């Protein structure tokens, strides 16, 4: 498992079926193919703005996205295994509790599937040479924002406008 990636803790009688999710940053020294990365985060941020989304930067983000995808797939598979292993209970209180836990796990899996789709979309954008550019304005999203959220498709200003529109729609 890559450095910085969090694994699910083994199930115990007390924690059976609970997923331990947390936000994490993957700091890679090698790509998933064990090739040395083209650059580090510091080298990436030190590059000139004129070099934005050059081949080396695209390679860096491709490796980062692939590593995140693999870690997410492992978490999804582990959660499916937990769902498959759940035992049926005859006590009505246990059945209700188990069903509530199952619903929580299914919601978690749905969220992870959405993130997996976003990662796949980002990899598609990379393949088309459109990764790192705001889909609304065409301006650079920015390396720091992409490091924090590699699936971002909007620059900060466009994202703020989108959130403002959403808040306005909810208020109406």
What global pTM score does this model have? 0.71
| pLDDT of the residue at 90 | 64
pLDDT tens for 51-94 read 999 999 999 999 999 999 999 999 999 988 888 877 666 677 77
Q: With contact defined as beta carbons under 8 Å apart, do 45 and 144 qualify? A: yes
Average pLDDT for the chain: 80
| pLDDT of the residue at 87 | 67
Q: Which CATH architecture has domain 41-171?
A: Up-down Bundle (1.20)
**DSSP 3-state of 30:** strand
Q: For residues 146 and 5, which has the higher predicted lDDT (pLDDT)? A: 146
Minimal CA–CA distance to 57: which of 119, 150, 139? 150
pLDDT at 28 over 90: no
Say how many C-beta atoms besides its own lie within 10 A of residue 138's C-beta: 10
pLDDT at 19 over 50: no
Q: With contact defined as beta carbons under 8 Å apart, do 108 and 78 qualify? A: no
HSE-CB of 133 using CA atoms within 13 angstroms: 12
pLDDT at 107 over 50: yes
154-159-161 Cα angle (round to 5): 130
Q: What is the CA radius of gyration of the chain?
A: 20
N residues, the chain: 172
Per domain, the residue ranges of the chain are 41-171
> In this structure, what DSSP letter does residue 91 have?
S
d(CA 22, CA 138): 32
Q: For residues 145 and 33, which has the higher predicted lDDT (pLDDT)? A: 145
pLDDT at 3 over 90: no
> In this structure, what DSSP letter does residue 149 have?
-
CA dihedral 93, 99, 101, 102 (to 10 degrees): 160
| pLDDT of the residue at 127 | 96
pLDDT at 33 over 60: no
pLDDT at 142 over 50: yes
């Amino acid at each position: 498992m890559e450095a910085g990636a969090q694994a699910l803790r083994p199930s115990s009688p007390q924690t059976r079926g609970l997923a331990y999710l947390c936000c994490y940053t993957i700091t890679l020294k090698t790509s998933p193919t064990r090739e040395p990365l083209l650059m580090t985060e510091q080298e990436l941020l030190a590059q000139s703005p004129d070099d934005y989304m050059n081949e080396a930067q695209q390679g860096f983000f491709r490796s980062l996205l692939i590593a995140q995808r693999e870690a997410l797939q492992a978490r999804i598979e582990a959660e499916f295994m937990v769902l498959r292993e759940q035992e049926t209970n005859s006590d009505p209180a246990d059945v209700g509790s188990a069903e509530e836990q199952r619903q929580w796990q299914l919601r978690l899996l749905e969220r992870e599937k959405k993130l997996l789709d976003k990662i796949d979309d980002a990899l598609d954008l990379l393949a088309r040479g459109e990764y790192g550019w705001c889909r609304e304005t065409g301006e650079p999203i920015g390396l720091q924002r992409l490091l924090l959220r590699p699936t971002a498709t909007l620059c900060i200003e466009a994202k703020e406008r989108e959130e403002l529109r959403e808040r306005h729609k909810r208020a109406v």
